[in-house]
Amino acid sequence: RPVQLCHPPKSVHIVNKILKAFKEGKKDSADFWIKMGKSFIYIRYIPIRDRNGNYMGTLEVEQDVAGIRELEGEKRLLDWK
């Protein structure tokens, strides 16, 4: 579905600017973050391109990163069980 339908009307003009930049090849991502209660939402728009670099569409990814922001120390791949 069109990405514009995922947003309130007051921000659709910004979404359209992002899509225009993707279509023109001027940008390869657009990142935003917002605090919503206890959640901290990271939003990334990524243009999808064919092998020739032609714009095909946009992927929008949202993730609550509140837990990630609190990480300390390290957890390595070899620690996975």
Tell me: the pLDDT tens digits for 31-51? 999 999 999 999 999 999 999
> Are the CB atoms for 33 and 41 separated by under 8 Å?
yes
Mean pLDDT of the chain: 93
pLDDT at 3 > cutoff 80:
no
pTM score over 0.85? no
Distance CA(33)–CA(64), nearest Å, equals: 9
Distance CA(39)–CA(35), nearest Å, equals: 6
pLDDT at 9 > cutoff 90:
no
Q: How many residues does the chain have?
A: 81
Q: Which CATH class is domain 3-68?
A: alpha beta
pLDDT at 14 > cutoff 80:
yes
Three-state DSSP state, 32: strand
* Beta bridge partners of residue 42, listed in sequence order: 33, 63
